């Protein structure tokens, strides 16, 4: 009886260690994805600003192709920001905890 309990305890310990390692890896991956999403959002914002400045130039003012490209860029940026809100809840929690300290 005690031998089987010892074996079960060892198996349980090993499984717990593996699960903890797996959870840490998942958290690291989530952080990586969150950082990349934030970077992508920043790059798209800069691109959109560039397009809007270009559209305001006298040479291109009223160009339908640029206007369409600006509209499409805004839509893509909104999609990335939506994805960012799904990915980033953990980062927001970290920021709240840092402010409390």
pLDDT in tens, 9-47: 999 999 999 999 999 999 899 888 888 888 888 888 898
pLDDT in tens, 65-96: 888 888 888 888 888 888 888 777 655 566 55
**73 or 58, which is more confident?**
73
Question: What Å distances lie between residue 100 and 15, 91, 94, CA to CA?
Answer: 34, 14, 10
Q: Is the pLDDT of residue 3 over 70?
A: yes
- Chain centroid, CA 37 distance in Å: 4
The structure tokens listed for 53 are 């400045």
Please give the Cα distance from 67 to 45 (Å, whole number). Answer: 16
> At 45, is the secondary structure helix, strand, or coil?
helix
* Cβ atoms 53, 68 nearer than 8 A: no
């Amino acid at each position: 009886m005690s031998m089987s309990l010892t074996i079960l305890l060892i198996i349980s310990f090993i499984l717990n260690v593996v699960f903890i390692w797996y959870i840490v890896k998942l958290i690291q991956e989530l952080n990586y994805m969150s950082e990349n999403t934030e970077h992508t959002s920043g790059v798209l914002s800069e691109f959109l600003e560039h397009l809007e400045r270009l559209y305001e130039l006298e040479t291109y003012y009223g160009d339908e192709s640029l206007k369409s490209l600006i509209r499409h860029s805004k839509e893509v940026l909104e999609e990335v920001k939506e994805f960012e809100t799904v990915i980033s809840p953990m980062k927001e929690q970290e920021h709240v905890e840092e402010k409390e300290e």
